[in-house]
Amino acid sequence: MNAKDNAIAVVTGAGSGIGRAVAVELLRTGWSVALAGRRAETLEETAALAPGAASLTVRTDVSRPEDVSALFAATVERFGRVDLLFNNAGTFGPGGVPVEELPFEAWRHVVDTNLNGAFLCAQAAYRQMKEQDPQGGRIINNGSISAHTPRPMSVAYTATKHALTGLTKSLSLDGRPYGIAVGQIDIGNAATDMTSRMQTGALQANGEVAPEPVMDVADVARTVRHMAELPLEANVQFATVLATAMPYIGRG
């Protein structure tokens, strides 16, 4: 789907970080974008970064089925269809907490946001993409380097990102008859507020704390747009975009 075709995207977690960067990249290149997130004011700030572009802000808690249904209903009411879901909303949860001390409520919050939220949004996108004419669309799930290799004391985040890979594969398989292409982007050390601690010191597998290199989040946004603008007959199943010198290959 090419932006020149007046394509319609839904971006979750669009109020900051990677979600904001991707949403602005799409808006600036001709997409119409529904911006979803927990805070209306940050969504409005994102929209203001692409003045004149066709955007819609919808306050959404992706862990709540009724919020997700309302998001997609509002998108279709405004724009008529959904061509792309960037399933991005997520949380790290509490950092540096040993597994034996992690409160169940903290575990459940991460699972509800990262996994259940991704499922609910994908399910709503799936339903719409099957019904619309022309049929089909694309879902891009925001995985993580942690979908492959965990950091110390990140059990909830890592478990959900591994699960997201299974979600991507199942959705990709089940979407084939309906022209729904599903892929995943795994990102390592994009420079956002969420990853600011990486530059000052992150816990390594050997117990040391060391600063890590980061990359410009705009490079992630351009990669997502490339994936999004492929024709539906082609799919980037998995893409890994990371700061070149971060401790991932050989981590641990």
Catalytic residue among 126, 157, 178, 248: 157
For 71-98, what is the mean pLDDT? 94
Q: Would you say residue 4 has pLDDT above 60?
A: no
Cα separation, 83 vs 9, in Å, equals: 6
3-state helix, strand, coil split of the chain in percent (to 5) is: 45, 20, 35
Q: What is the pLDDT of residues 166-224, one digit of tens each?
A: 999 999 999 999 999 999 999 988 877 666 666 677 777 667 777 777 889 999 999 99
Catalytic residue flag (residue 248):
no
pLDDT at 59: 98
Instruction: Tell me the domain boundaries of the chain.
Output: 3-242
Q: What is the pLDDT of residues 116-154, one digit of tens each?
A: 999 999 999 999 999 999 999 999 999 988 888 888 778
- By CB neighbour count within 10 A (0-12 exposed, 13-18 middle, 19+ buried), where does 91 fall? middle
Cα separation, 40 vs 4, in Å, equals: 28
DSSP helix/strand/coil, 213 = coil
Q: Between the ranges 5-19, 93-107, 172-186, 207-221, where is the mean pLDDT highest? A: 172-186
Q: Which one-letter DSSP state was computed for residue 215?
A: B
pLDDT at 60: 98
Please report where in the chains the tokens 């990669």 appear, as a residue.
223
In DSSP notation, 186-210 reads EEE-B-SGGGTHHHH-EE-TTS-EE
Q: Would you say residue 3 has pLDDT above 60?
A: no
CATH class of segment(s) 3-242: alpha beta
Q: Where are the alpha helices (DSSP H) in the chain?
A: 17-28, 40-48, 65-79, 104-110, 117-131, 155-175, 197-200, 217-228
Q: What percent of the chain has pLDDT over 70?
A: 92
Cα separation, 134 vs 10, in Å, equals: 18
